[in-house]
A and B are shown apart, each in its own frame.
Chain A
Amino acid sequence: MNSSYNYAFFDEGSKREIRRAILKAIAIPGYQVPFASREMPIARGWGTGGLQITLSIIGRSDTLKVIDQGSDESVNAVNIKKLITLTTDVPVTNDAEKATIIQSRHRIPEKPLNENQVLVLQVPLPEPLRFFEPSEYATKKLHAEKEYSGAYLILFDEIIRLGRMAGGADHPVEVNGRYVMAPSPIPKFDNPKMHESQALILLGAGREKKIYAVPPYTKVASLAFDDYPFQREKSIGQTCRLCGASGVFMDELTDDETGSTSYQCNDTSYCLERMNSHDA
């Protein structure tokens, strides 16, 4: 632990200020709370929003897991873990079950999370209406009036042009029957995991200076139409070539030489754990 920095990098005043934004976000599920996003020793757009949340809530009894698109070992995940462990004394784990704080980019772990855990998601674009309405002043009004035609229009236009709701990630959700929110670029496959999640979910956008939250046991519904219901990516018949899992989110691999397709769990620690338990 590097003791020339305050515990968890930030001074206590900064942490308290960010925690106040987090508390407000929890009190108004799905509502984007503005916060004074700080300059971080990693570039904006590389998870600074999530990192600021994690640093503000982390304490000596925590165990940390960081994943980037399903992998604990990617450069980004490793860098974020390094910064956190240099300035705190928390142990790091790959096991989603053992972690108390899981910071993630683009995935929710396959193992169901529990009440003792906090999931921190990194968010590049927090505004689900942005493509429809470029002005922040205008989108704030639309949220205040619960006027979400724009979010539906974006999906409608995909159906008209492409025959289906084609966007694979960041499919908008309605939280607690009130605010429509961008779930961050998690695959549609992960959207239902947010519904009635036992773990608190915190979302942070560093560049856009917003924090929002889904408290435990909150209703989260993916937007859809009467005749075009929400559908996860189909994984029927796909099994992981390494651990044999099915019904989880898979990466599709194409063999350059034979051109044949195979599948592999996207959540690598989940996959590894299954393989290890086979061996035992």
Chain B
Amino acid sequence: MMHEDTVLLRAGNLSKAYGNGCSRCESPEARNLEKNYCPHCGTVYALQDVSFALYTGEILGIVGESGSGKSTLMQCLYFDQPVTSGEFQLNSYKGGTVNLFEESDQVKRYIRNYHLGKVYQNPMLGLKMKFSSISNIAEKMISAGHRNVGVMQERASELLSHVNIPAFRMKEAPQNFSGGMQQRVQIAKALSNNPPILLLDEITTGLDLSVQAKVLDLIKTIRRDFQITMMLVSHDLGVIRMLADRTLVMLNGRIIEHGLTDQILEDPQQAYTQELVHSLL
């Protein structure tokens, strides 16, 4: 639930194109709204004028079919990908007065280290598979300037046990772990510097149902124990229903509907969302 009505993160008119565009697709009006790519030059308009706010304490769900731009949105907010245009403010950084997309790489690194934690859809992108699990947690701490092995090791062990990695496996490299364990190591890593916001991208995709349930329970306990605000991407409405307070529905790189999750599930306004919800029932 929203504890306070304060905006923690704001994204304004965020756009991301893969490709340079051509004269046929330069203006957004000329683009076919049904598709997110230009048939003439192949440019993919993965995000088109995406605007939303994230409030303190909430879990904001993002749902949409494959290719709708969910991962791209997460990547842009974590500076994994440069945006084409748009604004991004965090109220924890300079009171939300600066567009973080325009800051230096050093500032972006600082934001990644202290203000955000991210769990990637693909654990290969989020973890150093050959380093020990403890080292994976410490990586973010080292990057934030920690230079005390004992302190980092203690913090890493604490977080790993919080996500139920048994102590005797903490020195092992995640390449030996199951998919569910790898996601849990990623979650521990994301929490290492106590960020106010977690970005979670398809954290249960590809896992067995019973393992999925455990990871979802873990998200609930983490929300309770760390009082952290989250953005949760999933193409699975069941996951969204279970965890998200509010939900954005994405299609072809745009937000086509947003509101309280219950409202969207009970009374979807857009035809696309209605279809989506009916397929769940």
Could you tell me which A residues sit within 8 Å of B by CB distance?
132, 141, 145, 147, 149, 152-153, 156-157, 159-161, 225-228
Asked whether, in the complex, the Cβ of A227 is within 8 Å of the Cβ of B138, the reply is: no
Asked whether, in the complex, the Cβ of B138 is within 8 Å of the Cβ of A156, the reply is: yes
Asked whether, in the complex, the Cβ of B148 is within 8 Å of the Cβ of A225, the reply is: yes
Measured CB to CB, the closest approach of chain B to A228, in angstroms, equals: 5
CA distance A126 to B40 in the complex (A): 45
Measured CB to CB, the closest approach of chain B to A270, in angstroms, equals: 36
Q: Which of chain A's residues has its CB closest to B150's CB? A: A227
Could you tell me which B residues sit within 8 Å of A by CB distance?
105-106, 109, 128, 131-132, 134-135, 138-139, 142-143, 147-150, 152-153, 171
Asked whether, in the complex, the Cβ of A153 is within 8 Å of the Cβ of B109, the reply is: no
Measured CB to CB, the closest approach of chain B to A135, in angstroms, equals: 13
Measured CB to CB, the closest approach of chain A to B157, in angstroms, equals: 10
CA distance A145 to B104 in the complex (A): 10
Measured CB to CB, the closest approach of chain A to B243, in angstroms, equals: 32
CA distance A159 to B150 in the complex (A): 10
The contact of B109 among A145, A156, A160, by CB within 8 Å, is A145
Asked whether, in the complex, the Cβ of A159 is within 8 Å of the Cβ of B149, the reply is: yes
A156 neighbours in B (Cβ, 8 Å): 135, 138, 142, 149, 152
Measured CB to CB, the closest approach of chain A to B127, in angstroms, equals: 12
A147 neighbours in B (Cβ, 8 Å): 109, 143
Q: Which of A132, A153, A156, A226 has the most CB of B within 10 A?
A: A156
B135 neighbours in A (Cβ, 8 Å): 153, 156-157, 160
Q: Which of chain B's residues has its CB closest to A132's CB? A: B128
Measured CB to CB, the closest approach of chain A to B128, in angstroms, equals: 7
Rank and list the top 10 A-B pairs by shortest CB-CB distance, nearest first: A149-B143, A157-B135, A149-B142, A226-B148, A225-B149, A157-B131, A152-B142, A160-B132, A226-B147, A160-B134
B147 neighbours in A (Cβ, 8 Å): 152, 225-226
A149 neighbours in B (Cβ, 8 Å): 139, 142-143
Asked whether, in the complex, the Cβ of B149 is within 8 Å of the Cβ of A153, the reply is: no
Measured CB to CB, the closest approach of chain A to B105, in angstroms, equals: 6
Q: Which of chain A's residues has its CB closest to B153's CB? A: A160
Measured CB to CB, the closest approach of chain A to B141, in angstroms, equals: 9
CA distance A153 to B109 in the complex (A): 17
A132 neighbours in B (Cβ, 8 Å): 128
Measured CB to CB, the closest approach of chain A to B111, in angstroms, equals: 14
Measured CB to CB, the closest approach of chain A to B159, in angstroms, equals: 14
Given contacts A147-B143, A225-B147, A228-B149, contact A153 B131 (CB under 8 A): yes
23 of the cross-chain contacts (CB-CB < 8 Å) are A132-B128, A141-B105, A145-B106, A145-B109, A147-B109, A147-B143, A149-B139, A149-B143, A152-B147, A153-B131, A156-B135, A156-B138, A157-B131, A157-B132, A159-B149, A160-B132, A160-B134, A160-B153, A161-B171, A225-B147, A225-B148, A227-B148, A227-B150
Measured CB to CB, the closest approach of chain A to B121, in angstroms, equals: 21
Q: Which of A145, A157, A161 has the most CB of B within 10 A?
A: A157
Given contacts A145-B105, A160-B171, A161-B171, contact A153 B139 (CB under 8 A): yes
CA distance A159 to B138 in the complex (A): 12
